[in-house]
Structure 1
Amino acid sequence: MIFGGADRLSLLAFASCVSLGKAATLLTGGTVIGWDTSANSLDVIRNGSVLVENDTITAVFSGSYNGTLPVDLEVVDTTNDIISPGFIDTHRHSWQTAFKTLGSNTTLMRYFERYGTDSPANTFFTPEDVYIGQLVGLYEALNGGVTTILDYPHCTWSAAHAMAALNATFESGVRTEFAYYFQDYANFTVEGQIDLFRDLVNDARFDSSPTKLGISYDGFASTNRKQTRTILDLAIEKNVSVVSTHANGGVYGAPNFPEVLHEFDFLNQSIPIVFAHASYHSATDAQLLRQYNHYISTTPESEMHYGHLHPNSHLIMDQAALGIDTHFTFSSDILTQARLWLQSVRKIFYREVVDRRQLPAENPMSVNQAFLLATRSGALALRRSDIGILAPGAKADLLVWNGRAPSVLGWTDPIAAIMLHANVGDIKHVMINGEFKKRDWQLTVPGYTALQDRFLESARKIQDHWREMPLPVTEGEADNGVAFEKPMMADIERGDGTGYGPLFV
């Protein structure tokens, strides 16, 4: 059938109305972990419902709705279930998925040599390897309830590699701050990357997806101040969504801390800055974070795994959110990070009392605080008031947890149920931007099995290559002049053996 001008406009208007109607979803009958904007606090709503229209939450209520529900509304029964905001990850390298299980015992210095941006990955990974690793890595995060990610794609070895990571990010549908990584490479200098970045700013896909464009950069403490100034000016010129940097500190170097950035007169910009790790930040750094409202991204499992440790992180939690870091070495879900960090902080604060031979009178950190770190704090780090909460006007990024799962059966406090008892296998549904990305425990990814096969082909090639590479020798001094020292090793067997064992790769 062929339509003329007027008829065609009428049809388009009708199609638009139908689309809007079909885009409405009512999650009803569950327990909602909402947000009371007037009290600025969490609000648990029993027999609650969440109305989603297009990409936005338009109502959160208990009992019957006092308004007019949209036409063609899809009603999802969540009786006995828990509805929560999605988790926010403020630091991840999604492209590294193919390294899964290879780095289970690695240290940070071995990671730099073997798996990082200047490792053999620089020359061995093809753009296809980056694309498929990025895509399945983001789906892994989504499956675990992570709905927003600040992605740190330090795989920008060429324009093709950078575009592969970005294309996968768009395809995933995960709400992503894609923080383009700037570093000089032999065949792709920062100058060339800036030209590419200027083109990326005009990519129309940013207008129609939940992905935004930011910048990541690790050269603030280098001697190349001209390059740093150029990148910061670019961030200001293009008004990027975020700037992020690795602030390792201590014996690890990379002291990209607030004090260093303050020298460039950049902290006072409207652009949020996220300092990954920042375990060794100083009191002055803390003051600058609070003064200019910037955040650190604490990645608990990573910092334990690699040995960053947490000398100061527990002292700046009012300006901290949670992240994952290298998801190929450990858990990729924020729930695990929140749980680890909750108990770690409790241990730290308890010890201050017990070491004085006193008894703790209270528990020093609550499950509510851990939940907020995993959700709203990430939104605050990105200066977003429309994510990380369930409230009218917020983006429809939410999770539905099976309230009858064996792990939580008998719960009364939904926040405690999630933070201390649930596991990511209990997540029934994941919605991002008003669309179900996981439904009835299954990712809504067309052709996901074929996608897995495609990834496994890439991963086997990469893993075969890495398996043949000898481990770096960690003796003498590292490149930064700090001496290596072997730590006391765990011993779980009597006699000559320790039980440490080989990697079964």
Structure 2
Amino acid sequence: MQTSSAIVLRRGTVLTMEPGQGDLPDTDVLVRDGRIAAVGRALDVPAGALEIDARGGIVLPGMIDTHRHMWQTAQRGYGSDWTLTNYFYFYYVNHVNLFRPEDIYAGNLLSALESMDAGVTTTVDWSHGLRTPAHADAALDALERVPGRFVLAYGDHSRGPWEWAGDFRDFVSRRGTGDGLVTFQIAFDVSDDAAFPEQAAFDVARELDVRVTTHAGVWGASGDAAIERMAQHGVLDDRVVYVHTGSLSDGSYERIAATGGHVSVATDSESGAGQGYSPTRRLRRHGISTSLSTDSSVAISGDMFHAMRATLSADRALGHLEAHARGETVVDNELRAADVLRYATLGGAEALGLDDRIGSIAAGKRADLVLVKNDRNPALFPILHPAGHIVQQAGARDVHSVLVDGRLVKHDGVLLLDARLAEARRAVEESLARVMKSLPAQDGSQPAGGRSAA
């Protein structure tokens, strides 16, 4: 574990993600007291600084996941064949009421560790299973057990946000943290109700100065009417993050763009579950700030490298199909690897309003850093196109070192949180021992004492 207040990553290829700045080969990054102190070649460092050999590796800003249902992670992979309808039946109809605070804690703790291990230094916990104050406490307790940067997006799908917005206010008053690593959002979806009862939740968000995150443009669940209601009531602004958006019209995109809103794209989920086709091409046309997310590990990989690849592939596939329909051939791909890497880093920071602190590598910013280097992986060399290598060749197993706010949490491929990992394993095993008794079998048969998901 880290023992020095200064750390230097030596002689890596640095992808700063700073506007207008290219790749920096053979470059050092010096970290002191939680901040990036300097970026340059052959830096002088304080005596006793911990030196990490980054030669042959790539240093990038910590990745940022702007929408992950962390509380569902204990059921990892169970919904690999689900559509969105299957997901809705499982969580929103049959099983949401089965989750105790202990189950929320187990999922959040496991997901938080997964984030750190995979180089995701900031994760938005889209936590819409907080039915009681005890559930909310458990969610936050788990996040505070892991030295990462998290945003608890407080939500309760079992009630309308106008019913629980006061609970959120009380929770923030009671549990507000002062270390700066855990912050809050409010998470809810907007209905088609012309009376706009969600106004109460928007009012609480403004009162507490927190951002709103909302699923929007989800086929069969939320569409243009919700955006229109928000526009009519003056709550569209640059402090709203819209998740998915694949089923929105150009008119809704124009409204989001005009008010400075942000979109979180979860391409793998959108492609497999049916929310709508990944909208990155349309978002670029409208100049909308874009970030990436993994949605839920119950069905989708929590690996942001995978999310970047899926997004690049889906965007390019649609570009080729559109060109073929016109009898044309694409000769230059519009979306570049560096663009998708920006979605996963600085784009996420912009969505959270933290781009002055994280999301790029520059002196003065908080030291959320990832070194991708794996001498045991033959796919990690040679590196001819650093951003392309990160997006198309690397994966979570290639994350060598991770720093969050200047603290080393993973080094030489090993997560430095053994006690937390053991705790997560125990908590998840205990949770599943109870919850799995009520889960429908994947072949459609019914386990003893369980209920059907249909």
TM superposition score normalised by structure 2: 0.90
**Aligned AA (1:273):** V
Give per-residue Cα distances to partners, 1:316-359, cap 9 Å, x unaligned.
Answer: 13422111111221210211111111011111112222233333
Alignment CA distance shift 1:235-1:252 (3 Å): closer
Specify the alignment match of 1:55 in structure 2.
Answer: 34
Give the Cα separation in 2 of the matches to 1:101 and 1:140.
14
Alignment CA distance shift 1:446-1:62 (3 Å): same
Give the Cα separation in 2 of the matches to 1:125 and 1:311.
31
**Aligned AA (2:417):** V
Alignment CA distance shift 1:462-1:121 (3 Å): same
Question: Aligned pair 1:264/2:223, yes or no?
Answer: no
Secondary structure of the 2:439 match is: helix
Alignment CA distance shift 1:184-1:367 (3 Å): closer
Specify the alignment match of 1:234 in structure 2.
Answer: 204
Question: Aligned pair 1:90/2:66, yes or no?
Answer: yes
C-alpha deviation, 1:463, in angstroms:
2.1
Q: Which of 386, 391, 413 does residue 414 from structure 1 map onto?
A: 386
Give the Cα separation in 2 of the matches to 1:25 and 1:203.
35
8 Å CA contact 1:93–1:152 kept in 2: the answer is: yes
**Aligned AA (1:200):** F
Secondary structure of the 2:143 match is: helix
**Aligned pairs (5 A) from 1:84-483:** 84-114=60-90, 116=91, 118-183=92-157, 185=159, 193-203=164-174, 206-223=177-194, 225=196, 227-240=197-210, 242-253=211-222, 257-268=226-237, 272-310=239-277, 312-317=279-284, 318-319=287-288, 320-385=290-355, 386-402=357-373, 404=375, 405-447=377-419, 448-467=421-440, 468=447, 469=450, 471-473=452-454
C-alpha deviation, 1:47, in angstroms:
1.2
C-alpha deviation, 1:360, in angstroms:
2.1
C-alpha deviation, 1:461, in angstroms:
2.3
Alignment CA distance shift 1:42-1:322 (3 Å): farther
8 Å CA contact 1:247–1:256 kept in 2: the answer is: no
Give the Cα separation in 2 of the matches to 1:244 and 1:461.
31
8 Å CA contact 1:98–1:463 kept in 2: the answer is: no
C-alpha deviation, 1:182, in angstroms:
4.5
Specify the alignment match of 1:477 in structure 2.
Answer: none
**Aligned AA (2:6):** A
Give the Cα separation in 1 of the matches to 2:99 and 2:381.
45
Give the Cα separation in 2 of the matches to 1:119 and 1:168.
26
**Aligned pairs (5 A) from 1:8-27:** 22-27=4-9
Alignment CA distance shift 1:42-1:305 (3 Å): farther
- Asked which structure has the greater CA Rg, the reply is 1
Secondary structure of the 1:147 match is: strand
8 Å CA contact 1:299–1:323 kept in 2: the answer is: yes
C-alpha deviation, 1:203, in angstroms:
4.5
**Aligned AA (2:5):** A
**Aligned AA (1:229):** Q
Give per-residue Cα distances to partners, 1:395-431, cap 9 Å, x unaligned.
Answer: 2111111153311211122211111111110111111
Secondary structure of the 2:276 match is: coil
Give the Cα separation in 2 of the matches to 1:288 and 1:255.
10
Give the Cα separation in 2 of the matches to 1:443 and 1:292.
41
Alignment CA distance shift 1:462-1:184 (3 Å): closer
Alignment CA distance shift 1:184-1:94 (3 Å): closer
Query: CA-atom RMSD, angstroms?
Result: 2.3
Give the Cα separation in 1 of the matches to 2:166 and 2:253.
35
Secondary structure of the 1:120 match is: helix
Give per-residue Cα distances to partners, 1:82-115, cap 9 Å, x unaligned.
Answer: 111111111110000122222121111121111x
Give the Cα separation in 1 of the matches to 2:452 and 2:54.
50
Give per-residue Cα distances to partners, 1:440-459, cap 9 Å, x unaligned.
Answer: 21222141224313322212
- After superposing the two structures, state which structure 1 stretch, 360-369 or 310-319, moved more: 310-319
- After superposing the two structures, state which structure 1 stretch, 418-427 or 398-407, moved more: 398-407
Give per-residue Cα distances to partners, 1:1-47, cap 9 Å, x unaligned.
Answer: xxxxxxxxxxxxxxxxxxx99322111121111144xxx23421111
**Aligned AA (2:181):** P
Secondary structure of the 2:427 match is: helix
Secondary structure of the 1:43 match is: coil
**Aligned AA (2:300):** F
Alignment CA distance shift 1:264-1:344 (3 Å): same
Give the Cα separation in 1 of the matches to 2:52 and 2:367.
14
Alignment CA distance shift 1:377-1:190 (3 Å): closer
C-alpha deviation, 1:134, in angstroms:
0.8
Give per-residue Cα distances to partners, 1:115-157, cap 9 Å, x unaligned.
Answer: x2x3333321111111111111121122111111122101111
Specify the alignment match of 1:80 in structure 2.
Answer: 56
Give the Cα separation in 2 of the matches to 1:166 and 1:255.
33
**Aligned AA (2:228):** E
C-alpha deviation, 1:465, in angstroms:
2.0
Give the Cα separation in 2 of the matches to 1:246 and 1:148.
20
8 Å CA contact 1:248–1:308 kept in 2: the answer is: yes
Count of aligned residue pairs for this structure pair: 439
**Aligned AA (1:243):** V
Secondary structure of the 1:141 match is: helix
Give the Cα separation in 2 of the matches to 1:144 and 1:61.
26
C-alpha deviation, 1:160, in angstroms:
0.6
Give the Cα separation in 1 of the matches to 2:275 and 2:21.
32
Secondary structure of the 1:251 match is: coil
